[in-house]
Structure 1
């Protein structure tokens, strides 16, 4: 999460760009992200050099080893004269990163083709470089910065509430990945990928758990075919391509696709779907794919996306997705139809209710995580419910780090559901029989099943309370007389 100090520094960079004549907020975001990417490339190159020196084996290089190639590195040009920096970035570095991944068929090359370097003057560029350097050196060394920056900037655009574009906090993404536990052989998709956060979290998990034992075929799969992401915003796709490339995923399937429309015919393709699809707004009924309407005939994106996940998963494929609470208990025919589909025709495994502050300060919406497996043959026996109370951060707009955190408990309990059998609905997590869910019209709201225990409070008899009040009145009167005596003296 970005602290207030970091936000202030970003605001200062924003102001410098605004004063320099860049008045479109989206242009500000793109230009800043390009420069962050350029800096990140140099950081990655430094890591390669360290690894090479340590292991004595040659590592792939990002920048050519000749003088001109090395002059394009952030660490080499950042302290030069502003006019020289401007010339190097505008005429050498920017054209270089646009063609960094070679052939046009790569996602990176495809979405960088229409990218433009729009910093107006050497002075403005120098201020941005100095500001970003200070941020990286002192404030955000370990943050998921590209996504956090976009999230913060998006709040400035005042459009996120209409578009539903709220980036999922990294610790929530990481939790969802750990719940599904992908393997190096899986194909993973986010059909509303934004800045590719879920794909990055999946890549980090696979590296952490399997890096030492992965085969060359699995590494080839990791570098490209493993990861797919779709979005309808070319800015998002550029950010995704840059973000994935920095995580050694050079050939991901990142594509401009309206996922719930007729242009998307993908069926039974993926092992894992992780997503936080748009919550707000509706889509044009004519453009919605017909086979999604058969599951739930609606224009609401939050319902259509869950139906889409079922379609694009292979049989046996699994999904963890974030939905607004309305999906769990909505009374429309489409809401009930989708929930019935999950419970009757597939295996709904878990409903994790999250506190409304998880997406603050950008949104106060109450959400839940649905975890299910596509079976096309039912399989829902019991559904696990968990009432998350804390995620390691305060639930106000500041989102400060706190000690209370249910996430480790959620991950541990989900992977040991046998141990949940004897837990009661009065506890934080519990299992509910499918029959109870059917009886409740497929309502998946945790409040429908959670039992609240009210402690019986024993009060003193009225006579005892009245006697106590008399004693208090006498004491007050005595103290008042004492005060009057002091005043007369």
Structure 2
């Protein structure tokens, strides 16, 4: 976890950029990403050096050649400001732009238009010195650092895009349990938060995959796929993935709703929080998506896109605004019917409306489904998540109340139950015997027939029963008698007070 001291150091770096003439939050993130990436390359090269020295062998796959030693962070940070600025702007930055030496790689394509924007030697010297003071020895610290940087994006909420909190991303990854042979996609990847978290999950739970050359190659080249149309986001996403140890992630420039529909049956897992920006011009939407659901609303079109992108048997966890769950238009109803009757809708997790503060107070839920093309929904698991470990106001301070561990534990316990909701005989009254409590609990099951009877409404309030605590009141005669006694007491005290006032005047 990033300490208050280290947050203060990041704040200081941020302030240095602003006072140095770079005031746009996204540009600050971009320039800091370049510098962090440059530092990370030096750290990696140093680790390779130490290994080679221990083994008494040459460095395997060195990052810097014999004549490039001055391009390393640990070297140029000792230069005086003017020389440092010349080396970084004229040599180091071109070096990282062409790092892969392959113009066809996603990294090279995104970095092609990258611009070094730090305007003065003094600002560069100050920022390099401050970044050097931030400890980034382990992977978790780097992740926390990057997340804290991204939390400062003032452009969040533009065009319906909201930065997904890291703990919500981690929860969704843990719910879906990525596998080493998966092909994961986020069709609205932004800074690649979901892909990074999936990679960290695999490192923690399937670390042995790196001992298998085939799986290792798959991890570095084909496992992680992301689309976005913002060139800056694509650069940040690529560097973010590479900083987290993915050598060549497939991060592509695509306007998903207009161009990604030419991809079909390609991925085994989708993790996403697509933008909810209202309506699009129908002419800009891929025709295949409109054939699935006739609408201009992005939140519905993205779900149609995900169904197209997934392989049969592929799984999806996606954040949707509440309107998707209960909207009454034909498009809303058609899409929910497709999920329930055409595929296998497995879960709907209702999240508190403060999750996306301070950017927005929008109410959202998480849909989990599997593409089957043949139905399969028997029961849908609902969870009423009321707390996520942070206050639900704009401050989002840590609090004790947190349903996330229970969400993950309950879901995994449910998945391990016999038949994974498919044994209808075990389900009685909206519960799975021995697994979940009734409709008054935070989580419960709803049969597919009940959902159909309710016009495919997926809002949790449609099915959750509110348990009212019985309050025992005294008989009216007793209450009236008490009120009369109280009135007499008040009247007596007023009379006594009036008497004292008259006596005092006399």
Give the structure-1-normalised TM-score.
Answer: 0.89
Cα deviation for residue 44 of structure 1 reads: 3.8
Cα deviation for residue 403 of structure 1 reads: 2.2
* Contact 1:63/1:73 (8 A) holds in 2: no
* Contact 2:184/2:267 (8 A) holds in 1: yes
Cα deviation for residue 143 of structure 1 reads: 4.3
- Who is 2:205 aligned against? 209
* Contact 1:108/1:241 (8 A) holds in 2: yes
* Contact 1:358/1:395 (8 A) holds in 2: yes
- Deviation per CA, 1:164-201: give whole Å up to 9, x if none: 22121111111111111111111110000111111111
Cα deviation for residue 464 of structure 1 reads: 5.2
Cα deviation for residue 56 of structure 1 reads: 8.0
- Who is 1:434 aligned against? 448
Query: What aligned pairs does 1:244-393 form with structure 2 within 5 A after superposition?
Result: 244-262=241-259, 264-393=261-390
Of 53-62 and 266-275, more deviation after overlay is shown by: 53-62
- Who is 2:424 aligned against? none
- Deviation per CA, 1:406-461: give whole Å up to 9, x if none: 11111111122249514211110000001111011100000100110111212233
Query: What aligned pairs does 1:159-238 form with structure 2 within 5 A after superposition?
Result: 160-213=156-209, 215-238=212-235
What SS does the corresponding residue of 1:192 show, helix, strand or coil?
A: coil
Matched, 1:76 2:75: yes
Unaligned residue ranges in structure 2 (runs of 5+): 419-430
Aligned equivalents of 1:432 and 1:184: distance in 2?
A: 32
Aligned equivalents of 2:356 and 2:59: distance in 1?
A: 40
Distance 1:399 1:62, change over 3 A: farther
Of 37-46 and 170-179, more deviation after overlay is shown by: 37-46
* Contact 2:42/2:72 (8 A) holds in 1: yes
* Contact 1:41/1:62 (8 A) holds in 2: no
Counterpart among 421, 441, 457 of residue 432 in structure 2: 421
Of 259-268 and 49-58, more deviation after overlay is shown by: 49-58
Matched, 1:240 2:237: yes
Aligned equivalents of 2:493 and 2:396: distance in 1?
A: 46
Aligned equivalents of 2:361 and 2:54: distance in 1?
A: 48
- How many residues matched? 481
- Who is 1:149 aligned against? 149
- Deviation per CA, 1:100-142: give whole Å up to 9, x if none: 122011111111111121211101212222343445579x945
Matched, 1:463 2:490: no
* Contact 1:262/1:290 (8 A) holds in 2: no
What SS does the corresponding residue of 1:294 show, helix, strand or coil?
A: helix
Aligned equivalents of 2:48 and 2:354: distance in 1?
A: 40
Distance 1:424 1:261, change over 3 A: same
- Who is 1:450 aligned against? 464
Aligned equivalents of 1:56 and 1:471: distance in 2?
A: 100
Cα deviation for residue 32 of structure 1 reads: 2.4
* Contact 1:44/1:246 (8 A) holds in 2: no
What SS does the corresponding residue of 2:152 show, helix, strand or coil?
A: helix
Larger gyration radius, structure 1 or structure 2 = 2
Cα deviation for residue 294 of structure 1 reads: 2.0
* Contact 2:180/2:202 (8 A) holds in 1: yes
* Contact 2:2/2:144 (8 A) holds in 1: no
- Who is 2:428 aligned against? none
Query: What aligned pairs does 1:384-403 form with structure 2 within 5 A after superposition?
Result: 384-403=381-400
Distance 1:48 1:358, change over 3 A: farther
Aligned equivalents of 1:39 and 1:33: distance in 2?
A: 10
Query: What aligned pairs does 1:14-53 form with structure 2 within 5 A after superposition?
Result: 14-22=14-22, 25-48=25-48
Unaligned residue ranges in structure 1 (runs of 5+): none
Aligned equivalents of 2:44 and 2:141: distance in 1?
A: 13
Of 239-248 and 296-305, more deviation after overlay is shown by: 239-248
- Who is 1:101 aligned against? 100
Cα deviation for residue 282 of structure 1 reads: 2.4
Distance 1:59 1:405, change over 3 A: farther
Give the structure-2-normalised TM-score.
Answer: 0.86
Aligned equivalents of 1:375 and 1:226: distance in 2?
A: 21
- Who is 2:425 aligned against? none
Distance 1:263 1:223, change over 3 A: closer
Cα deviation for residue 319 of structure 1 reads: 0.2
Distance 1:263 1:414, change over 3 A: closer
